[in-house]
Amino acid sequence: MEIIQISIRTILSYFILVISLRIMGKREIGQLNLFDLIILLSIADIMIIGIENYKDNWLLSLVPVILLTLIQKIVAFILMKSNKIRKLIDGSPSIIIKKGKICVKEMSKQSYNIEDLILQLREKEIYNIEDVSLAILETNGNLSVYQDPIENFCPIPIIISGEINPKALEITDKTRTWVMDYLGKNHLDIRKIICGYLVNNQICVVKSLDE
């Protein structure tokens, strides 16, 4: 009888976990931020406790799962609306190498050691740090590496969700004054720009289908 109860709870818990993940949104595991990961692990632990304590009312374990899922959706909505809160929770990309030179202070700040850097460069078949024009440690832990001169890069997002991207300024050696002057000359309202790319010393604004 106990085996049957545990088996039924395990199957139901699996489907509830899948439903919760679907509600949370379509994101790969490597793209989960710290908050999403904590929510996911908490839900998994609660479901395990519900399976192990088969003598207790299993429906009680659904209450915290539902609450955690709702909290995640609310926070996800807030993150979409607030760039500052999004940076607080998700963090921001870090420049690790610029023009062949290592940013030691940034590596120390991110607890990212030279062995990790060399390993990730080696995985991309890059063996000489001086050959790297730019290396960015993304918020998900991946390392984006560019060997071409910065001037030849693909478009760089310099405006995101109506705010100037400070990392883009650091990469391109542009200033906030330059960006605002450009927008003013072209009659563009930064508050209405979802994403603006810097291409050949010009800011190209990405339009929305909802417009």
Domain membership flag for residue 193: yes
Q: In CATH, what number is assigned to the domain containing residue 124?
A: 3.30.240.20
Domain membership flag for residue 74: yes
pLDDT in tens, 24-63: 765 545 556 677 778 888 888 888 887 777 677 777 778 8
* φ and ψ of 159, to 5 deg: -130, 125
Total structural domains within the chain: 3
Token reading at 74: 């609310």
Cβ atoms of 183 and 190 closer than 8 Å: yes
- 44 in the same domain as 7: yes
- 182 in the same domain as 139: no
- Identify the bridge partners of residue 174 per DSSP, sorted by sequence position: none
Domain membership flag for residue 140: yes
Nearest by Cα to 148 from 156, 157, 138: 156
Domain membership flag for residue 211: no
User: Quick one: which H or E segment has residue 143?
Assistant: strand 143-146
Domain housing 169: 154-205
Is the predicted pLDDT of residue 11 greater than 90, yes or no? no
pLDDT at 138: 84
pLDDT in tens, 62-116: 888 888 888 888 887 887 777 777 777 777 788 899 888 898 888 888 888 899 9
pLDDT at 153: 59
**Higher confidence at residue 22 or residue 210?**
22
Using DSSP's 3-state secondary structure scheme, residue 198 falls into: strand
Of the three residues 110, 130, 150, the one that is the final residue of a domain is 150
pLDDT in tens, 144-184: 888 877 655 557 788 888 888 888 888 888 899 999 999 99
* Cα 14 to Cα 159: distance, rounded to the nearest angstrom: 41
Of the three residues 104, 127, 150, the one that is the final residue of a domain is 150
pLDDT at 180: 92
- 72 in the same domain as 49: yes
